[in-house]
């Protein structure tokens, strides 16, 4: 995980070649000392493309989780704090959204919009906020009758201030866990979409579309498929393990 | 009487959820820029404004959105999803119907394997918590959880399909399928489904086995287990009879919850292995912007999930006598 962040941040300094530079003299070269991880069908350096691909993946991961957490937090706070009909309405909506296989929903929306990096981030964000909303709602419900919230209200704090200033910080730790796991699944989703050709569009290198380009030449140039997948696996595994570790630290019930 | 009320509210909430699903799906189609008649009007220089209006009238597009929604809802209740926009112009429901069995079979078989692997793994991890076995399985299932399914599929194709050709790498049947005997046919199908099922099983293992582990750990910490041990019952019996029964309960819910993931996952896997299932149909429809098919699949996918959850609830209801009271 640290590796992928490092690669993404310093991509221009690490990559030995331009990730989109075409070199007809060096097509389908297996890994060698000049091209560490080989070259693809247009003579582009696989290692450089992987390094730049890290940027795309992390970008998608963080921004889409940012979107989903924002939506989830607001709806969860409102549902938990006000209760009653508002709560019933929001939670019904959560149930409905949970019924759609998320991959179906994302594909359907993408089919109607243009596939682009921004659209993908928005769509992944819009279809994955339900878990966070449920978590925050539960936290809010247990926190809203505590003394410190009452004290804030007696001091004349506005509802918004109570929600975001007093309740939210106290209920944030499970969200942190779910956000970390969310980054992992967003990266996985993006790579899946790009692999199907409806995600990040070439020539922008993303791990998913590198795999798509590599799949047809699997037999002659397996390195085109092996390395991008390995990067996805390592990165996603990193975030999942981090999420699990955070849960062990932050959730006292889970500790036992 | 109480059961009756519960049942009534369950049905009511199902109906509301179903209506919600249709509203969201209907909204998704209206994300599409332009109107469905554009192809015949705007793109056709001969078509006048009058023609467009007439077409809009024929398709009911001149009515307010709410009326359009009600009309559409009336049709889909009768499984009438309209006609495919692709070359064959067949009814959407017919196209879906012929592909549904394969996807269902694929998912059910995978679920079966996930179940028989994940449950023992979860139990053993919980019983020997923090041992090397526990740590190893944790890493193993986490890799399965993190690996991109399509990449795993490619690697398996390369390894078991090309380097040591044990399994066929694409399609559902061999060329000589029609000449085979019944058992030969079954064997052929099993061979073709082996790789996809492997991918599904490995990537789906984590959720259930981790859940089983934590559920088991919780049960093992309870007093009645201590009592059973204190009575002098052998550890094996305590685990397999007393603890397992209770730990399995919450797992039923997880099975229901895993339905959307499996259905969604079939899009990529079926496309890679060229299996003519629902996922492949959906993918082709997305690529061809075949809106009626996309919509039909979306609604159906959600309904299947709804049914999965309902079955899980029902299973829970039957398995846990405490709820029935």
Query: Domain locations in chain A?
Result: 54-255
User: Which percentage of chain A shows pLDDT scores above 70?
Assistant: 81
SS3 B190: helix
Given B286, B305, B309, which is nearest A101 (Cβ)?
A: B305
If one counts every other C-beta atom within 10 angstroms of the C-beta of residue A47, the result is: 19
- pLDDT tens, N- to C-terminus, chain B (325 residues): 677 787 788 788 888 888 888 888 888 777 666 555 555 555 565 666 676 677 666 666 667 777 878 888 888 887 777 777 766 778 888 888 888 888 888 888 998 898 889 888 988 888 888 889 888 888 888 888 888 888 888 888 888 877 777 777 777 777 777 777 778 888 888 888 888 898 888 888 888 888 888 888 888 888 888 888 888 888 778 888 778 888 887 777 777 777 777 788 888 888 888 888 888 888 888 888 777 888 888 888 888 888 888 888 888 777 777 766 5
Mark yes or no for CB contact B154/A107 under 8 Å. Answer: no
* pLDDT score, position B59: 63
* pLDDT score, position A63: 92
Mark yes or no for CB contact A256/B145 under 8 Å. Answer: no
Q: Is A114 on the interface with B (CB under 8 A)?
A: no
SS (H, E, C) B62-130: CCCHHHHHHHHHHHHHCCCCCECCCCCCCEHHHHHHHHHHHHHHHHHHHHHHHHHHHHHHHHHHHHCCC
* pLDDT score, position B128: 86
Q: Which two tokens stand for residue A10?
A: 């310093």
CA–CA gap between residue B107 and residue B200 (Å, rounded): 8
Residue A66: pLDDT over 90:
yes
The per-residue pLDDT for range A140-178, each reduced to its tens digit, is 888 888 888 888 878 877 788 888 888 888 778 888 888
Mark yes or no for CB contact B287/A198 under 8 Å. Answer: yes
Task: Choose among B140, B154, B255, B261: nearest CA to B199.
Answer: B154
CB-based contact B302:B28 (threshold 8 Å): no
Task: Choose among A89, A120, A133: nearest CA to A204.
Answer: A120
pTM of the model: 0.82
CB-based contact A17:A40 (threshold 8 Å): no
Which residue is closest to B151 within chain A, CA to CA?
A229
Which residues in chain A are contacts of B162 at CB distance < 8 A?
Answer: 218-219
* pLDDT score, position B213: 87
| Averaged pLDDT, A64-79 | 92
Which residues in chain A are contacts of B287 at CB distance < 8 A?
Answer: 197-198
CB-based contact B156:B168 (threshold 8 Å): no
Mark yes or no for CB contact B221/A109 under 8 Å. Answer: no
Mark yes or no for CB contact A95/B20 under 8 Å. Answer: yes
Paired residues of A45 in beta bridges? A39
Whole-number Cα distances in Å, A216 to A190, A193, B154, B155:
20, 17, 10, 13
In CATH terms, the fold of domain B92-324 is MetI-like fold (1.10.3720)
CA–CA gap between residue B228 and residue B233 (Å, rounded): 6
Residue B307 CA from chain centroid, whole number: 11
The per-residue pLDDT for range A173-232, each reduced to its tens digit, is 888 888 888 888 898 888 888 888 887 777 778 888 888 887 777 777 777 788 888 888
**Residue with structure tokens 């994302």?**
A106
Paired residues of B91 in beta bridges? B83
Mark yes or no for CB contact B268/A99 under 8 Å. Answer: no
What letter does residue B163 receive in the DSSP assignment? I
* pLDDT score, position A256: 41
CA–CA gap between residue B29 and residue B289 (Å, rounded): 11
CATH class, A54-255 region: mainly alpha
SS (H, E, C) B268-307: HHHHHCCCCCHHHHHHHHHHCCCHHHHHHHHHHHHHHHHH
Residue A71: pLDDT over 90:
yes
CA distance to partner chain A, nearest, from residue B51 (Å): 25
What letter does residue B177 receive in the DSSP assignment? G
**Residue with structure tokens 């200033």?**
A165
Rounding to the nearest 10 degrees, give the CA dihedral for residues B291, B295, B298, B300: -130
The interface residues of chain A toward chain B in range 119-138, judged by CB-CB distance below 8 A, are: none
CA–CA gap between residue B47 and residue B49 (Å, rounded): 7
What residues does CATH 1.10.3720.10 cover in chain B?
A: 92-324
Q: Is A195 on the interface with B (CB under 8 A)?
A: yes
CB-based contact B253:B268 (threshold 8 Å): no
Which residues in chain B are contacts of A232 at CB distance < 8 A?
Answer: 147-148, 151
Mutate to test the interface with B, among A50, A89, A102, A111 (most CBs of B within 10 A): A111
């Amino acid at each position: 995980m640290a590796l992928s962040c490092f690669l993404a941040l310093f991509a221009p300094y690490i990559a030995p070649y331009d990730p989109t530079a075409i070199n007809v003299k060096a097509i389908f070269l297996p890994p060698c000392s000049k091209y560490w991880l080989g070259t693809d069908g247009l003579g582009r350096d696989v290692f450089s493309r992987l390094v730049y691909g890290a940027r795309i993946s992390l970008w998608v991961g963080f921004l889409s989780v940012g979107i989903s957490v924002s939506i989830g937090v607001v709806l969860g706070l409102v549902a938990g704090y006000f209760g009653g009909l508002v709560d019933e309405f929001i939670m019904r909506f959560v149930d409905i959204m949970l019924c759609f296989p998320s991959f179906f929903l994302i594909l359907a929306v993408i089919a109607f919009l243009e596939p682009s990096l921004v659209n993908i981030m928005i769509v992944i964000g819009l279809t994955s906020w339900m878990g966070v909303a449920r978590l925050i709602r539960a936290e809010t419900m247990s926190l809203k009758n505590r003394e410190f919230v009452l004290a804030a209200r007696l001091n004349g704090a506005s509802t918004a201030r109570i929600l975001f200033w007093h309740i939210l910080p106290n209920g944030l730790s499970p969200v942190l866990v779910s956000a970390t796991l969310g980054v992992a699944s967003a990266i996985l989703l993006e790579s899946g979409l790009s692999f199907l050709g409806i995600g990040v569009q070439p020539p922008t290198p993303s791990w998913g579309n590198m795999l798509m380009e590599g799949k047809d030449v699997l037999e002659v140039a397996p390195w085109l498929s092996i390395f991008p997948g390995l990067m996805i696996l390592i990165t996603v595994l990193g975030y999942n393990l981090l999420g699990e570790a955070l849960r062990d630290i932050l959730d006292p019930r889970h500790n036992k | 009487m109480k059961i009756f009320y519960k049942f009534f509210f369950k049905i009511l909430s199902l109906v509301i959820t179903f209506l919600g699903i249709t509203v969201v799906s209907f909204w998704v189609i209206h994300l599409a820029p332009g109107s469905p008649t554009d192809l015949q009007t705007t793109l056709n220089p001969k078509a006048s404004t009058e023609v467009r209006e007439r077409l809009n009238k024929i398709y009911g597009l001149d009515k307010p959105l709410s009326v359009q929604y009600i009309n559409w809802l009336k049709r889909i209740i009768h499984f009438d999803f309209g006609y495919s926009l692709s070359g064959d112009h067949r009814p959407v429901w017919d196209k879906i119907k012929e592909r549904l069995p394969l996807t269902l079979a694929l998912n059910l078989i995978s679920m079966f394997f996930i179940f028989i692997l994940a449950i023992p793994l979860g139990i053993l991890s919980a019983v020997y918590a923090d041992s090397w076995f526990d740590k190893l399985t944790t890493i193993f299932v986490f890799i399965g959880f993190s690996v991109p399914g399509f990449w795993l599929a490619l690697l398996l194709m390369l390894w078991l399909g090309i380097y040591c050709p044990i399994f066929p790498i694409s399609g559902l049947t061999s060329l000589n399928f029609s000449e085979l005997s019944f058992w030969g046919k079954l064997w052929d199908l099993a061979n073709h489904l082996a790789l996809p099922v492997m991918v599904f099983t490995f990537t789906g293992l984590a959720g259930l086995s981790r859940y089983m582990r934590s559920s088991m750990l919780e049960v093992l910490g309870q007093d009645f287990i201590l009592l059973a041990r204190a009575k002098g019952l052998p550890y094996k019996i305590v685990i397999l009879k007393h603890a397992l029964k209770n730990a399995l309960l919450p797992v039923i819910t997880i099975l229901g919850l895993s339905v959307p993931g499996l259905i969604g996952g079939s899009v990529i896997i079926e496309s890679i292995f060229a299996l003519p299932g629902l996922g492949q149909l959906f993918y082709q429809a997305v690529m061809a912007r075949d809106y009626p098919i996309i919509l039909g699949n979306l609604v159906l996918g959600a309904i299947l999930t709804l049914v999965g959850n309902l079955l899980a609830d029902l299973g829970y209801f039957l398995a846990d006598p405490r709820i029935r009271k």
